[in-house]
Amino acid sequence: MRDGDGNILTDENGPLYDYGAGNNAGLQRPQLPQVNFLQENRLNTMRTTTNLIGLIGYVDITPIEGLKITLNGTVNNNENHYTYAQQSFYGFGAQNYKGGYIYKENNQYYSVNFQQIINYTRDFGKHNMSLMVGHENYNYETQTLGGDRNNMFSFFQSQDLDSAITFLSNNSSSSKYNTEGFFFRGMYNYDERYFFSASYRRDASSRFHPDHRWGNFYSIGGAWILTKEEWLSADWLNMLKLKASWGQQGNDAIGDFRYTDTYEVSNTGGELGFVQATVGNPKITWETNSNYNAGFEFELFKSRLTGSVEYFYRKTTDMLSYVLMPFSAGYGGSYDNVGDMSNKGIEIDLNWHIFRQKNFNWSVNLNATHYVNKVLKLNEDNRGNILDGHAGYANGSHFVGEGLPLYTWMLRKYAGVNDEGQALYYVQKDGQLTTTTSYTAASYIWN
């Protein structure tokens, strides 16, 4: 801020800033009063220190020709130390944080991954075969510790919890996550012309109940390089490959302990108590993504133009989703395998190598994708609502319905304005269609 002569006003903390609360010629700010982001950024502290240690090791053993045994291991330890301090001299901080506010948090993330893999490769004339079998296990642990206080001894000289006297809170938590998997892959090609592959994985995740912890996933694929055939020969065509594949992957990315009820320890009148934090679903299991791809790759004009055209169809079965519940249920919601979904489309990738020399390359890339997303099927207990003839369920501001894209907005159906200029929305009341201006109507018509 400046005075009437244009001089910058200062105090013991440096330049003064406008907080929109009347301290600048009496001017009041209608939005975000008591805040000035420039000074907040200058005075407040947001600092993170990270210590990262990683170990990677492997051993290859070749007992006979073509046979290789590999042991892979990785260990990672990541520690983060976070400090946040809020000034108490101006605006919102002066009103809410007596003597300043300090928050400290320490996090540790520890992971171990161990693989044992056997590979066998053999050539028989123009035939080439490769087999792989292996086992993998992964463990991930987290530890967090945090606390905050206000009424600091000195905001600038010491930003530690011990330098503040008013206790606010402290917390700590820990979590564990682990997976285990067995896998197999076989590949074969004839004369580097015809290619075939197949694979299988069996995976388990601690994020599911022991009765639903394991999932099986498969894949097959093939390719044919047509330009290696004698009947296909052209100076402008350097390579043309047809390819197709079908494969599955599992998804368990829903967070930990979603299959069981969780509780928080509470102080109930000085006695130890428990409050339910989340409601689990013991029936949830792996979400499976099945991908079908078919297309071709090419190189033209002495490989100056390269690219691919590919059609894809991806079907998700046993789709994992958080399902919101009515307030009358007593809890917000839980995870469920709600149904099936598809994504299909076409992808084009082109590369034009305009200039290629020993020390200079100039190329242009074009990538374009068109796809359509649709929910194919929902479980019966997730088909309780209807939107424009589509059965499904409301999930916040979105509607998950059969035949609709996954993130379809669910909005109140607009009916115009009344004489006072208020927006009107359609509602169903006593079996009749009418309108309302209320935002709390229980029977909106949605679109």
State the DSSP string of 143-197.
EEEEEEEEEES-TTT--SGGGEEEEEEEEEEEEEEEEEEEEEEEEEEETTTEEEE
Mean pLDDT score, 60-84: 95
Where a domain ends, among 340, 364, 385?
Answer: 385
Residue 428 placed within a domain: no
Number of domains in the chain: 2
Specify if 229 maps to a domain: yes
- pLDDT tens-digit readout, 316-369: 999 898 887 766 666 778 888 888 999 999 999 999 988 877 788 888 999 999
User: Do the domain assignments include residue 429?
Assistant: no
Q: Judge contact between 80 and 106, C-beta under 8 A.
A: yes
What single-letter DSSP state applies at residue 379?
-
Average pLDDT over residues 157-185: 92
Whether residue 27 is found in the same domain as residue 173: no
pLDDT of residue 399: 81
Residue 7 lies in a domain: yes
Per-residue confidence (pLDDT) for residue 22, from 0 to 100: 67
In degrees, rounded to 5, the angle at the alpha carbon of residue 403 between the alpha carbons of residues 397 and 408 is 20
Closest by Cα among 111, 140, 113 to 53: 111
Mean pLDDT of 387-404: 79
pLDDT confidence of residue 372: 92
CA distance 384 to 390: 10
By the 10 Å C-beta count (0-12 exposed, 13-18 middle, 19+ buried), 140 is classed as middle
Token pair, residue 184, equals: 């197999």
Q: Are residues 2 and 60 in the same domain?
A: no
Query: Rounded to whole angstroms, how far apart are CA atoms 179 and 209?
Result: 13
Q: Does 110 lie in the same domain as 31? A: no
Both 370 and 269 in one domain: the answer is yes
Which of 360, 366, 404, 400 minimizes the C-alpha distance to 384?
400
| Domain of residue 310, CATH code | 2.40.170.20
User: Looking at the domain assignment, is residue 252 inside a domain?
Assistant: yes
- Report the amino acid identity of residue 161: L
Question: Could you report how far apart the first and last alpha carbons of the chain are, in Å?
Answer: 50
Question: Is the Cβ–Cβ distance between 365 and 349 less than 8 Å?
Answer: yes
Give the pair of three-digit tokens for residue 338.
């709600």
Residue 134 belongs to some domain of the structure: yes
Band of residue 185 on the pLDDT scale cut at 50, 70, 90: very high
Summary mean pLDDT of the chain:
86
Cα–Cα dist 237/225, whole Å:
12
Binned at pLDDT 50, 70 and 90, residue 447 comes out as low
Q: What average pLDDT score do residues 14-37 get?
A: 74
Q: How far is CA 386 from the centre of its chain?
A: 29
Residues 259 and 291 in one domain: yes
Q: What angle do CA 428, 432, 433 make, to 5 degrees?
A: 60
77: number of CA atoms within 13 Å, CB side? 3
DSSP 407: S
Instruction: Tell the burial category of 149 from Cβ atoms under 10 Å away from its Cβ (0-12, 13-18, 19+).
Output: buried
pLDDT at res. 42 = 84
pLDDT of residue 323: 80
Question: To 5 degrees, how large is the angle CA 319–CA 323–CA 327?
Answer: 175
Q: What is the pLDDT of residue 327?
A: 63
For residue 426, tell me if it sits in a domain: no
136 token code pair? 């993998």
> Which is higher by pLDDT, 7 or 192?
192
| Same domain, yes or no: 48 and 11 | no
**Secondary structure letter of residue 440 according to DSSP:** -
Considering 346, 362, 385, which residue would you say is the last residue of a domain?
385
Same domain, 10 and 146: no
Same structural domain for residues 211 and 329? yes
Query: How do residues 82-104 score in pLDDT, each as one tens digit?
Result: 999 998 888 778 888 888 899 99
* pLDDT score recorded for residue 439: 56
Asked if 63 and 145 sit in the same domain, the reply is yes
Together in a domain, 116 and 126: yes
Look up tokens 């339910």; give the residue: 276
Summarised one tens digit per residue, pLDDT across range 289-313 is: 999 999 999 999 888 899 999 999 9
Q: How does strand 305-317 pair with strand 339-356?
A: antiparallel
> Which two structure tokens, joined as six digits, stand for 376?
């194919």
User: Is 405 within a domain?
Assistant: no
* Mean pLDDT value of segment 103-131: 95
Within a 10 A sphere around the Cβ of 336, how many other Cβ atoms? 21
**Boundary (domain end) residue, out of 332, 353, 385:** 385
Instruction: Please report where in the chains the tokens 């979590």 appear, as a residue.
Output: 175
Phi and psi at 286, nearest 5°, equal -60, 135
Residue 111 · residue 138 · CB < 8 Å = yes
pTM: 0.75
**Domain limits at 20?**
1-42
Give the strand pairing for 101-124 and 67-86.
Answer: antiparallel
- Distance CA(14)–CA(409), nearest Å, equals 48
For the cut 80, the answer to whether the pLDDT of residue 444 exceeds it is no
Do 14 and 111 belong together in one domain? no
Cα–Cα distance for residue pair 325/333, rounded to 1 Å: 5
Q: CB-based contacts of 421: which residues, under 8 Å, 6+ apart?
A: none
Considering the domain architecture, whether residues 9 and 51 belong to the same structural domain is answered as: no
